[in-house]
């Protein structure tokens, strides 16, 4: 049979070689190329090349040669991720929050934590929400230079060395701020085209305190604005009629009460306020501090707003009314933007789920991220005030501590 002939196999091989090697080589090259490009993206998206990586802690370079020190005397620090593409000359500086210490005792305890010492700070952290480099999570600021300043002075970066006395603590908040700004200016901030200073809670208050100074550090032609997230603390009496927060602030700052409403009155730099009308931190520490509720009647309510009875809800609604009344005088100022939702939460810009995602809190179908972007880039005036009830907005991400 022909198929069993050795000469037939040899002839067949010669015939295939002469006609098909070129085609086979081309097919092999094509398959190899497809396999290669399946695993290689010549233009990797920021979500792959940036967002998946943790951002390292950078300690202040010249800490040993400056008086800029955390409460315990260690070097202050920050996390930095460089911008790319069209955002390479734009900067977003975000200030960490974490309450305050108002006595030698409370500050001494604080120095054994990341809020008082860089020795206890995480060496790597993820950047999400407003700090994200994913264009889907952070469409307006994803490719900017990003900095998260770690908070270790206990007074919203406002302390001065002369207040230290013989405490064994270092109250160097203002000095830390100046030193970190100097370092950031030296690595590119000084040539910024656009910049946004933001912060959460005590970091939000720090943003208000330092906003105008931040504007002065940058080129006159740069667009510079500020954002305070859950940093608009009210000067309200608690349920017992005491001015707990005013007394606390007086102890923190020693000379005067720096309430945000007083700071904002004199601010010249454009400002955006992100604030929940039912801020759980303010409910716990301003409206119902522990000493005002010794029997613990409010405990369940403070853990979950759905557990509050009708009388408690009335007081919470009144607290919301005080917030809106205080904000009312800023409503007419064009440069001030607002996103005041009716959620039981505290700090919403740092998390993807509350900054900008399909399930984020919305007002008029706009997320916080979209609203801040609309305001920053002057796409529209933004004064978004939510409906008047803790249960009226189904998009709220209400916290449950039970």
- The residues carrying an active-site annotation are 201, 279, 346
Backbone angles phi, psi at 130, to 5 degrees: -65, -20
Element containing residue 147 per DSSP (H, E): strand 145-149
DSSP calls for 1-48: -GGG-HHHHHHHHHHHHHHHHHHHHHHHHHHHHHHHHHH--SS--HHH
**How far apart (Å, rounded) are the C-alpha atoms in residues 257 and 286?**
14
Residue with tokens 């005080």: 322
How many Å separate Cα 3 from the centre of its chain? 76
Which tokens go with 16? 């295939």
Neighbours of 200 (CB within 10 A): 29
- Three-state secondary-structure class, residue 210: helix
- Provide the CB-side half-sphere exposure for 238 (13 A, CA): 22
Residues 83 and 91 sit within 8 Å (Cβ to Cβ): yes
* Residue 358 CB burial class (10 angstroms; 0-12, 13-18, ≥19): exposed
| Residue in 376, 96, 380 with CA at minimum distance from that of residue 230 | 96
Spell out the long-range contacts of 308-312 with Cβ–Cβ below 8 A and sequence spacing 24 or more: none
Which tokens go with 332? 């007419």
C-alpha distance from residue 238 to each of 88, 243, 258, 280, 288 (Å): 47, 6, 18, 14, 6
């Amino acid at each position: 049979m022909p198929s069993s002939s050795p000469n037939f196999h040899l002839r067949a091989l010669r015939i295939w070689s002469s006609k098909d090697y070129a085609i086979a080589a081309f097919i092999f090259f094509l398959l190899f190329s497809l396999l290669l490009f399946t695993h290689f993206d010549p233009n990797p998206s920021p979500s792959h090349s940036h967002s998946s990586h943790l951002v390292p802690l950078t300690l202040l370079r010249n800490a040993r040669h400056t008086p800029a020190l955390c409460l315990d005397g260690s070097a202050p620090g920050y996390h930095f991720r460089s911008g790319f593409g069209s955002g390479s000359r734009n900067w977003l500086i975000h200030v960490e929050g974490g309450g305050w210490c108002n006595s030698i005792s409370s500050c001494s305890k604080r120095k054994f934590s990341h809020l008082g010492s860089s020795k206890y700070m995480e060496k790597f952290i993820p950047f999400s929400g407003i700090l994200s480099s994913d264009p889907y999570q952070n469409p307006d600021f994803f490719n900017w230079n990003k900095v998260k300043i770690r908070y270790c002075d206990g007074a919203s970066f406002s302390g001065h060395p002369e207040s230290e006395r013989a405490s064994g603590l270092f109250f160097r908040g203002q000095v830390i701020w100046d030193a970190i700004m100097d370092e950031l200016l030296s690595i590119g901030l000084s040539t910024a085209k656009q910049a946004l200073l933001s912060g959460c809670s005590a970091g939000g208050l720090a943003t208000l305190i330092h906003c105008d100074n931040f504007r002065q550090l940058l080129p006159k032609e740069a667009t510079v604005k500020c954002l305070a997230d859950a940093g608009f603390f009210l000067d309200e009496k608690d349920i017992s009629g005491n001015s707990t927060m005013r007394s606390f602030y007086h102890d923190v700052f020693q000379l005067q009460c720096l309430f945000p409403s007083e700071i904002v009155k004199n601010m010249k730099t454009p400002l955006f306020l992100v604030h929940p009308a039912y801020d759980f931190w303010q409910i716990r520490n301003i409206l119902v501090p522990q000493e005002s509720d010794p029997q613990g009647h409010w405990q369940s309510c403070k853990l979950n707003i759905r557990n509050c009875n009708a009388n408690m809800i009335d007081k919470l609604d009144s607290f919301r009314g005080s917030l809106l009344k205080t904000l009312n005088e800023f409503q007419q100022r064009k440069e001030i933007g607002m996103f005041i939702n009716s959620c039981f939460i505290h700090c919403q810009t740092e998390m993807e789920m509350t900054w900008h995602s399909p399930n984020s809190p919305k007002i008029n179908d706009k997320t916080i991220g979209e609203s801040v972007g609309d305001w920053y880039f002057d796409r529209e005036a933004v004064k978004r005030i939510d409906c008047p009830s803790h249960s009226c907005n189904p998009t709220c991400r209400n916290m449950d501590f039970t």
